[in-house]
Amino acid sequence: MFAVQTYKTKIIMKMKRIASIAFAVLLVLGFVACSNDDSSGNVDEGTARMSVKLVDAPGDYDNVFIDVQDVVIKYNGSEDEVSIGEVNGGVYDLLTLTGGLSVVLVDDEIPVGSISQIRLILGDNNTVVVDGETYPLATPSAQQSGLKLQVNETLEAGIFYEFILDFDVEESIVVQGNGSYSLKPVIRASTTAETGSISGAVLPLGFQTLVTADNGITQISSYVNASGDFVLSGVPEGTYTVTVEAEPLAGLNAAVVQNVNVTVGEVTTLGTIDLEL
């Protein structure tokens, strides 16, 4: 009898151990699922459009060529470098980028958030021309860590931001004691928001709904997402009429919102728009 009871006790203990392990696995799976949900939520926060332009102040040289390879950014609180998009890389003569001329290095959509730094990654083909003679232009660490520019800018969804990197060639080129030249860049980074955006939500859900902003010159449209939210991105400053139209099968009347003012660098929020029968 004692042996049978001991055997039953061992079975019960084993079953409890299996149940504990199963519960732990479920907790882990639940945590992973929540983490995945959080990640997708961050993506759903939206994107901003970012452009980086290179310009230059005049300098007393024949030419100053720099070899631009990449442009990356860093977000506040992160050590990871994020590529903005396809870079218009190449060798550029800074002294031609004066008098209102510029070159667009990159122009693409990136996740919204607060960025702390822009890094300009240079290649090896950097030179300066003085009195017709070409000299190598040393760029310490620019090929590895890049030329670091502190910007501290918060990017809002649907806004177009233009970053202007203004080289001061006269201050950036240093003549070494042996007659060689090195680049210790003095760059002023400025930011200009070029557009605004319009956001809101539409009820009821479950229908394909089109939102259009029109001011007689510019017309911008977007469909609402599965949650009924929408963002009209890249909207030039002005006053718009916003029309919300559900698909015909829904049998809902269109809604029209008049006198929607859009300001550069700001998000105009319309709140929730209810479509009625």
Structure confidence by residue, pLDDT tens digits, 227-272: 999 989 899 999 999 999 999 999 999 999 999 999 999 999 999 9
233 contacts 49 by C-beta, under 8 angstroms: yes
221 with 162, same domain?
Answer: no
- Report the CATH number at residue 62: 2.60.40
Average pLDDT over residues 59-84: 92
138 with 153, same domain?
Answer: yes
Counting Cα atoms < 13 Å in the Cβ hemisphere of 49 gives 16
77 with 178, same domain?
Answer: yes
Asked whether residue 37 is domain-assigned, the answer is no
pLDDT at 198: 94
Residues 117-150: b if buried by 16+ CB within 10 A, e if exposed: bbbbbbbeebbbbeeeeeeebebeebeeebbebe
164 with 203, same domain?
Answer: no
209 with 257, same domain?
Answer: yes
pLDDT at 211: 94
132 with 159, same domain?
Answer: yes
SS3 27: helix
pTM > 0.85: yes or no = no
Counting Cα atoms < 13 Å in the Cβ hemisphere of 53 gives 16
- Report the CATH number at residue 261: 2.60.40.1120
Q: Closest Cα to residue 111, out of 72, 79, 80, 155?
A: 155
Asked whether residue 213 is domain-assigned, the answer is yes
Q: Per-residue pLDDT for 41 more than 50?
A: no
197 contacts 158 by C-beta, under 8 angstroms: yes
Average pLDDT over residues 40-69: 80
Asked whether residue 165 is domain-assigned, the answer is yes
Query: Which of 26-40, 101-115, 133-147 shows the lowest mean pLDDT across its residues?
Result: 26-40
Q: Per-residue pLDDT for 39 more than 70?
A: no
Average pLDDT over residues 81-103: 89
**Better-scored residue on pLDDT, 150 or 58:** 150
Asked whether residue 11 is domain-assigned, the answer is no
202 with 180, same domain?
Answer: no
233 with 130, same domain?
Answer: no
167 with 218, same domain?
Answer: no
| 202/244 Cα distance (integer angstroms) | 8
Provide the domain count of the chain. 2
Q: Where a domain ends, among 141, 167, 193?
A: 193
258 with 238, same domain?
Answer: yes
- Radius of gyration for the chain, computed over Cα atoms and rounded to the nearest angstrom: 29
**Containing structural domain, residue 267:** 196-274
151 contacts 189 by C-beta, under 8 angstroms: yes
165 with 74, same domain?
Answer: yes
**Better-scored residue on pLDDT, 132 or 9:** 132
225 with 146, same domain?
Answer: no
Q: What share of the chain in percent tops pLDDT 90?
A: 57
Q: CB neighbours of 139 closer than 8 A, spacing ≥ 6? A: 66, 122, 126, 182, 183
Asked whether residue 227 is domain-assigned, the answer is yes
